[in-house]
Amino acid sequence: MSGEEQKYIREAFDTNWIAPLGPNVDAFEKEIATYVGVNEAVALSSGTAAIHLALSLLEVTKGDKVFCSSLTFVASANPILYQGAEPVFIDSEPDTWNMSPQALEKAFIDAALTGALPKAVIVVNLYGQSAKMDEIVSLCRAYQVPMIEDAAESLGSSYKGKPSGTFGEFGIYSFNGNKIITTSGGGMLVSNNFEALQKARFLATQARDQAIHYQHSVLGYNYRMSNILAGVGRSQLAVLHERVESRRRVFENYVRELADLPGFKFMPELEGTRSNRWLTALTINKKEAGVSVQSLIDSLSELNIEARPVWKPLHLQPLFKGVTYYKHDEAENVSETLFFTGICLPSGSNLKEEDQMRVIDCIKKSVKLKV
């Protein structure tokens, strides 16, 4: 926490705005919109809800196809299923670990041949690193398919100076407890399309028609953010800049101490982009390092240090069995390689240097014992 949260929470209580609307919600929306430079933002109960509303606004429905990054958290794609639509998963490329423009183009070509273009493309910015937006945006434009930018992990990052989350028709952020700033749970939908976001607000409040007798013509949701939590978000947003600096420092410490170990390769930062380094991620070549990701996770765990593999690609998930998947190229299945060789290290903004040294020492020992 930043320390200022209680002030906004107290304000909510003092003015009795204990509801999924109120001054903190309005102000948080304005502050996020200003921060990332978009016309409008809608505060919601989660990032997942924001993706769901974006798909709903794009009229994604039963039988439609939606292209989505494969190497991501399941929440990126679940809303596709909520809408009864069909996901098609796209591999990563090695420079950003994000959606491969090459694989995306192949998927577009195939879809155009069958006359069934997707209704939307969901592009994820993994661990804070922006995808290759120039290439992806121009492909989506060429096929006239709207893009949704899943920036749940990349608030505070930028691509060629432009804030992450502002490249698609819609962008989404998450304020879940594990994200770079948090409201405990929450999300935001952003866009330059003011009318679409007015409709998002309407859908998020049970799609209630303008009548005093609670009339409803279309299906809505209860997706608005609480005025108390929006207060938490406001004080968090004020320290986002510091959080990014802390996470980048954590990343740099790991690089300084570990980058020279045999077989260790840190997640790249594409030239012209700035990652918030939400999580420090790297791959380990087992043959060169003499240690596998799993045994390293086990050694860390023995010291009560939690580390995790990178996201399991969605095309490998039992939930999405049988779904179409486009590889980066014939020879390279990038997301699978990243999954089998990747590890995320403790990366909290409040990680103390001495604690980070414990992680680093354990890793160095594990590698030395094995080589």
User: Closest CB to ligand PLP among 151 and 363?
Assistant: 151
Smallest separation (angstroms) from ligand PLP to the CB of 233: 12
User: Closest CB to ligand PLP among 77 and 145?
Assistant: 77
Of 277, 300, 276, 37, the C-alpha closest to 167 is 37
Smallest separation (angstroms) from ligand PLP to the CB of 176: 4
Please state, in angstroms and rounded to a whole number, the distance separating the CA atoms of residues 216 and 220.
8
The reply on whether position 75 binds ligand PLP by CB under 6 A is yes
Reading the block at residue 79, the tokens are: 């809303």
The reply on whether position 64 binds ligand PLP by CB under 6 A is no
Please state, in angstroms and rounded to a whole number, the distance separating the CA atoms of residues 122 and 275.
19
179 in catalytic set: yes
The reply on whether position 70 binds ligand PLP by CB under 6 A is no
Which of 7, 179, 321, 364 is labelled catalytic? 179
Residue nearest to ligand PLP (CB): 47
Residue window 98-137: x/- pattern of binding to ligand PLP, with contact defined by CB under 6 A: --------------------------x-------------
Q: Are strands 325-326 and 187-191 parallel, antiparallel or unpaired?
A: unpaired
The reply on whether position 349 binds ligand PLP by CB under 6 A is no
Reading the block at residue 54, the tokens are: 């974006």
Q: For ligand PLP, which residue of 72, 158, 299, 366 counts as binding (CB under 6 A)?
A: 72
User: Closest CB to ligand PLP among 47 and 87?
Assistant: 47
Smallest separation (angstroms) from ligand PLP to the CB of 177: 9
User: Closest CB to ligand PLP among 8 and 73?
Assistant: 73
* 3 state DSSP class of 261: coil
> How many residues can be counted in the chain?
371
The reply on whether position 176 binds ligand PLP by CB under 6 A is yes
Residues ≥6 apart with Cβ < 8 Å to 342? 281, 282, 283, 293, 309, 310
The reply on whether position 152 binds ligand PLP by CB under 6 A is yes
The reply on whether position 166 binds ligand PLP by CB under 6 A is no
Please state, in angstroms and rounded to a whole number, the distance separating the CA atoms of residues 278 and 183.
16
Q: Are strands 147-150 and 187-191 parallel, antiparallel or unpaired?
A: unpaired
* Burial (0-12, 13-18, 19+ Cβ within 10 Å), 195: exposed
Residues ≥6 apart with Cβ < 8 Å to 248? 275, 276, 277
Smallest separation (angstroms) from ligand PLP to the CB of 40: 19
Q: For ligand PLP, which residue of 17, 73, 221, 320 counts as binding (CB under 6 A)?
A: 73
Interface with ligand PLP (CB under 6 A), residue total 14
User: Closest CB to ligand PLP among 67 and 264?
Assistant: 67
The reply on whether position 46 binds ligand PLP by CB under 6 A is yes
User: Closest CB to ligand PLP among 46 and 341?
Assistant: 46
Helix 133-142, helix 101-113: angle, nearest 10: 10
Please state, in angstroms and rounded to a whole number, the distance separating the CA atoms of residues 78 and 56.
13
Q: For ligand PLP, which residue of 129, 174, 226, 273 counts as binding (CB under 6 A)?
A: 174
Reading the block at residue 86, the tokens are: 């069909």
The reply on whether position 236 binds ligand PLP by CB under 6 A is no
**SS3 letters across 215-226:** CCCCCCCECECC
User: Closest CB to ligand PLP among 8 and 223?
Assistant: 223
Contact (CB, 8 A) for 320 and 89:
yes
Binding region for ligand PLP (CB under 6 A): 46-48, 72-73, 75-76, 124, 150, 152-153, 174, 176, 187
Q: Which residues are catalytic?
A: 179
